[in-house]
Chains A and B, each alone.
Chain A
Amino acid sequence: MRAWFFTEDAYPQLPEQESYRSIRVNLPNKHFDPETGADNYHQFIDMWLMAEELGLEIMLNEHHQTATCVVPAVPIIAGILARETKTARILVLGNPLANLPRPTRTAEEMAMVDVISRGRLECGFVRGVPYESAPANVLPYRGADRMWEAHDLIVKAWTTHDGPFNFEGRWFHARQVNVWPRPYQQPHPPIWVTIGSARSAVPVAEHEYIGAVFLAGYPGIRAIFDGYRDGYHNKHGVAPPLDKLAYCALVYVADDEEEARKGGEEVLWYMTSNKVPPEYSNPPGYHPPAVAAQIASGSRGGAGIPLQTTLDQQMARGNMFCGTPDQVFEQIKAFYDYSGGFGNLLIMGQAGHLTFEQTRRSMTLFSTEVYPRLKELTAAYEADEMKEIRAALPEKEGIDLGTFGLDFAR
């Protein structure tokens, strides 16, 4: 198991939630104090460095026009960490390709980070979340197609070394493509793609890329991972290695249960802060019509009401692993067994007002007491044995994924 420390780099110093309609897209940036913002950035960079010291890998992402994540350009943070870190792998998950106008720029940025870090980049590609169709001014309809075409161009740009080529696709055109630098890793950095359904997992599996699932929990994980496994097997004739699958969850580890709950409640901010009205969560063509209709009618949340959820609910769903080291290990192992196994744990280890010290304590306990056992667990993985373990675990039913799944388990 490889564990990746992740924080969204939020700006949580906000007015009362009732005072605004949306934390995304239109929350005026007068609420962003540059001094506080600078302190935040430095603290987050320190957190990622701390994660490296603890032996964890690093995960970064980007979002736009939102206080939930004030990294609108992930190559900048990745570039800083490429220089400031020495050993950690740096996962960018990801570049929102459907919403970015020029894939060759992404190819250049990621190649540069890869070279500066001397080959420690893991490069993720994502479609982008629904709220960002307005900031990007991109119609979300056919976003997956746009993403894959941009991907094709980027990979070709990374792997073409004998002079320029031209690309005239449906969505993207580029002339005289000849990126400098080329990537440090050959033929290119490992590629990750987020997956949220069995169907979306298939092309990722066929490319042998790492499929990352965000917060699908018990209700969604089997279908998605199985979609990947089937797609991989159909194309390559063998089962995918464990390290081709990743799962992202909220994690808080503490010395005792009381402290764990306190910290877990803070990390839960990641969900409860996500107040977004339907005009931003339901842009035309992002969701299938049936889902879009549910959002529009308010029957599936998204009516400008923040997600109402509790720590216990999210722990039951497998979206949050929270407790003492023993408890957290058992929770992750239970989910791991249920899911059929995965080799990467993406740790949303800091959110909201969780302090640096709280984060450090949690990640220290994780790395010293949980992580070694997870590594043993995956080292002992055997496909046949896992099948039996999983078969003995009945389907968990009656757990509603809730609104959260719509936007994040894509």
Chain B
Amino acid sequence: MSTSTETIRTVELRDVSVDVTFKGSGPRLFMLHGGGGPVASMPFTDKLAKTFEIVAPVHPGFGGSEIPEHFDDMQDLIYLYLDLMDELDLQDAIMMGFSMGGWTAAELAVLSTTRISKLILVDAVGVKVGGRDERDIVDVFATPQEDLTELMWHDPAKAPDPSQMSDEQRQIVQSNRVALGLYTWQPYMHNPKLPRRLHRIDVPTLVLWGEDDGLVTPDYGRAFAGMIPNAEFAVISEAGHAPQVEQPEKFVQHVLSFVSNGSA
């Protein structure tokens, strides 16, 4: 559990309410979670909160929140977060996105880097690197849960255990899947136009990857990093799709080193 003090604020953006977790102090770290749901209370954030003020919104539909009636896909999330970044008046923020949130972060950085100083993508999706007959990213909606666990974790024992969850938590897991489906269904987990646009990213970028990520492989990450000008690519060993969970120490070390030295 978290040891740093967290504050959750509901930010109203026109007719959409977004819960944003604030944690720690220092330069702002704008953190976008992946398809598994909010991560702001996980142990790795305690370490980061010693250096940064984490600013972590919950994507609408995740964590038990409502999907706004007008939301159809990733574009709606991107434009919501442009508004959120204005509303919070982010300045020189470090933007970090995990998995699906990494896609969101990359799209935001393509649109504008005026509010961010650095970009960190962690096991991110969002581009297509293979041919039309190749699935770059495992179809999470058509894969048995036990297989997904094997693919996503270096140590499957670290995966969340559904048998330890309350009914409410299980329902939130299912709601998260619906939201993930909404944002990523088709084209599956990517925007075909994004590779042509990533050249616009003009801030230092780190692409971090779990070495044993079987959901979206390090090769994919390397190719993704290659599309972003001067992006650095680093692999974290003994970690799968969520290196921040499986190897929090190494993960934080990479982040701190990148932010302070410009190198992971």
Q: Using CB atoms and an 8 Å cutoff, list the residues of chain B in contact with chain A.
A: 67, 141-145, 162, 167, 170-175, 177-178, 180-182, 185-186
- A296 cross-chain contacts in B, Cβ below 8 A: 145, 162, 170, 173-174
**Smallest Cβ distance from B210 to chain A, in angstroms?**
23
Assembled-state Cα–Cα distance A293/B141 (Å): 15
Assembled-state Cα–Cα distance A296/B163 (Å): 11
B142 touches A285 (CB 8 A): no
Given A279-B142, A284-B141: A293 touches B186 (CB 8 Å cut-off): no
- A292 at interface (Cβ–Cβ under 8 A)? yes
Shortest Cβ distance from B163 into A: residue: A297
Contact partner of A137 (CB less than 8 A), chosen from B143, B171, B175, B186, is: B186
B141 touches A283 (CB 8 A): yes
B144 touches A293 (CB 8 A): no
B181 touches A289 (CB 8 A): no
Given A139-B186, A279-B141, A279-B142: A284 touches B170 (CB 8 Å cut-off): no
- A380 at interface (Cβ–Cβ under 8 A)? no
Given A134-B142, A278-B145, A284-B141: A293 touches B173 (CB 8 Å cut-off): yes
B144 touches A141 (CB 8 A): no
- A139 cross-chain contacts in B, Cβ below 8 A: 181-182, 185-186
Assembled-state Cα–Cα distance A327/B25 (Å): 77
Contact partner of A293 (CB less than 8 A), chosen from B142, B143, B171, B181, is: B171
- Hey, what's the 0/1 contact readout for A357-399 against B, CB within 8 Å counting as 1? 0000000000000000000000000000000000000000000
Contact partner of A290 (CB less than 8 A), chosen from B144, B171, B181, B186, is: B171
Which residues 274-308 of A have a CB within 8 angstroms of B? 277-280, 283-285, 289-290, 292-293, 296-297, 304
Given A293-B170, A296-B173: A141 touches B142 (CB 8 Å cut-off): no
- B145 cross-chain contacts in A, Cβ below 8 A: 278-279, 296
Minimum-distance CB pairs A-B, first 8: A284-B181, A292-B174, A293-B170, A289-B171, A139-B185, A289-B174, A285-B178, A284-B177
Assembled-state Cα–Cα distance A293/B174 (Å): 6
A277 touches B174 (CB 8 A): no
Which residues 253-277 of A have a CB within 8 angstroms of B? 277
Assembled-state Cα–Cα distance A207/B143 (Å): 39
Contact partner of A277 (CB less than 8 A), chosen from B144, B162, B167, B175, is: B144
A279 touches B173 (CB 8 A): no
Pair count A-B, CB < 8 A:
57
Q: Using CB atoms and an 8 Å cutoff, list the residues of chain A in contact with chain B.
A: 25, 134, 137, 139, 141, 277-280, 283-285, 289-290, 292-293, 296-297, 304
**Smallest Cβ distance from B147 to chain A, in angstroms?**
9
**Smallest Cβ distance from B150 to chain A, in angstroms?**
14
Assembled-state Cα–Cα distance A303/B177 (Å): 18
- B181 cross-chain contacts in A, Cβ below 8 A: 139, 141, 283-285
Shortest Cβ distance from B162 into A: residue: A297
Assembled-state Cα–Cα distance A90/B177 (Å): 39
- B143 cross-chain contacts in A, Cβ below 8 A: 279
**Smallest Cβ distance from B26 to chain A, in angstroms?**
37
Shortest Cβ distance from B180 into A: residue: A284
A292 touches B142 (CB 8 A): no
B141 touches A134 (CB 8 A): yes
User: What are 14 A-B contacts defined by CB distance under 8 Å?
Assistant: A134-B142, A137-B186, A139-B186, A141-B67, A283-B141, A285-B181, A289-B171, A289-B175, A290-B171, A292-B171, A292-B174, A293-B167, A293-B170, A293-B171
**Smallest Cβ distance from A169 to chain B, in angstroms?**
13
- A297 cross-chain contacts in B, Cβ below 8 A: 162, 170
**Smallest Cβ distance from A294 to chain B, in angstroms?**
8
Shortest Cβ distance from B143 into A: residue: A279
- A292 cross-chain contacts in B, Cβ below 8 A: 171, 174, 177
**Smallest Cβ distance from A278 to chain B, in angstroms?**
7
- A284 cross-chain contacts in B, Cβ below 8 A: 141, 177-178, 180-182, 185
**Smallest Cβ distance from B144 to chain A, in angstroms?**
5
Assembled-state Cα–Cα distance A297/B164 (Å): 11
B142 touches A280 (CB 8 A): yes
Assembled-state Cα–Cα distance A292/B170 (Å): 9
- A134 cross-chain contacts in B, Cβ below 8 A: 141-142
Extra A-B contacts (13), CB below 8 Å, given A141-B67, A279-B145, A284-B178: A139-B181, A141-B182, A279-B144, A289-B171, A289-B172, A289-B174, A290-B167, A290-B171, A293-B173, A293-B174, A296-B162, A296-B174, A304-B144
- B142 cross-chain contacts in A, Cβ below 8 A: 25, 134, 279-280
**Smallest Cβ distance from A83 to chain B, in angstroms?**
38
B174 touches A141 (CB 8 A): no
Assembled-state Cα–Cα distance A134/B135 (Å): 14
Assembled-state Cα–Cα distance A325/B29 (Å): 74
- B167 cross-chain contacts in A, Cβ below 8 A: 290, 293
Assembled-state Cα–Cα distance A316/B185 (Å): 41
**Smallest Cβ distance from A283 to chain B, in angstroms?**
6
- A277 cross-chain contacts in B, Cβ below 8 A: 144
- A141 cross-chain contacts in B, Cβ below 8 A: 67, 178, 181-182
B178 touches A289 (CB 8 A): yes
**Smallest Cβ distance from B73 to chain A, in angstroms?**
9
- B177 cross-chain contacts in A, Cβ below 8 A: 284, 292
Shortest Cβ distance from B170 into A: residue: A293
Assembled-state Cα–Cα distance A365/B116 (Å): 77
